Amino acid sequence: MKLRWVFLFGGGIALLTAAVGVGAALLFDDSEPWVLIVTLLSAMLLITAPAIAGIWVANFTFDLESTDGRGVFRRLVLITTAIQLLGIVGLVFVAIAVPSATAFLVGVTALSAALLLVGLRIGIRLHRRMANGSRDGKAWSPWSPTLIRSKVMRVVVVFLIASVIGVGGLIGLRFIVTDPGEASSLAVVMYGFSFGFISASVACIVVAWPLVKDLRHALGRDYATQKAIGRVVLRNKDDELPEGGQQKATSYAAIMSVYLPFQIAQITLLFAGLWLQQLWNLIDESSTAYSSLTLGLVISYPILLAAALPFIIRQARNAKRYAVEHADLVSTNPAEPGKGPDSLAS
């Protein structure tokens, strides 16, 4: 799936979620705080779950027409439907508490069902298009240390520019629309820097995106082979690989040893930005109606990050170790400038 389609699709879903959130905030302005909280959480599940399912289908590297591929697809649909049902249960409680909002809640449910059908159809179509244009076993050009450093510098530059724009813009807005003494300067700076962290998180996705396409070419389209390679490389298992599987596993390990550190940075930067935004709400919130939810998010974000990072870091180390131990099997493209096998040993 091309990067521009990911951002366009993601941006559209974000705008749609924001529109539903604004509508819910206006509709339940005079209701109990829990009503708006449950509505927003349920709407988030109902809108984002089918959208993410569509993106996953488009980016599946294995053949969806195979027996294994159809099985994975069915499980994805079942899991997505279960998440949607959870959101519907939340909306049912809201409808019982506020019967006048039933039409709005039914509309959100219908929108979720339509998103699932449309998202899966688009995802399947994009998957077939990319599968037809891919070349099995395409040679990969390992990223040199110089190229990796340039990618990292791009992320740093994006962070600095977005932070300056965010802090400067909020300070200017603060002087225009409010009394400068009413808002905390520290809170404004924190919220401005949150834009920098989130923008840098997006930049990590952008700079590492070519590696995602390399994975599709390196792994082939057989699900069983992909699953075995993933277990061998990322989990250090002793699964038997088919003929030619070790070379694919080595290329996969070499790619993942570069991609996973960017993924670690992307997740960390995203959680840091979200955490700063919630911390700003906790410090500068004029109403205490939602302070408990804000406090819960401030506490839960670091816990979730601490739970996820060790797992990804262990995978990155296993991939790096496998790539170095089997560096002589990597299928490379020496014609690519600025890249070379020396990147595996760095």
Burial 114-138 (b: 16+ CB within 10 A, else e): ebbeebbebbbebbeebbeeeeeee
- Does the pLDDT at position 179 exceed 70? no
CA distance 34 to 31: 8
- Does the pLDDT at position 156 exceed 60? yes
Closest CA to 103 of 11, 27, 180, 13: 27
CA distance 121 to 128: 11
pTM, 2 dp = 0.78
The larger pLDDT score, comparing residue 295 to residue 333, is at: 295
CA distance 79 to 255: 29
Q: How confident is the model at residue 337 (pLDDT cuts 50, 70, 90)?
A: very low
- Name the β-bridge partners of 140: 332
Q: Which residue matches tokens 């449910």?
A: 109
Q: How confident is the model at residue 262 (pLDDT cuts 50, 70, 90)?
A: very high
Cα–chain-centroid distance for residue 37? 23
pLDDT in tens, 50-59: 988 988 888 8
- Does the pLDDT at position 274 exceed 50? yes
Helices (H), 134-244: 145-177, 185-219, 223-234
**Helices H, strands E: what count in the chain?**
10, 0
Stretch among 2-6, 52-56, 284-288 having the lowest mean pLDDT: 284-288
Q: What is the DSSP letter of 142?
A: P
Is the distance from CB of 55 to CB of 120 less than 8 angstroms? no
- Does the pLDDT at position 152 exceed 60? yes
Residue length of the chain: 346
CA distance 46 to 80: 9
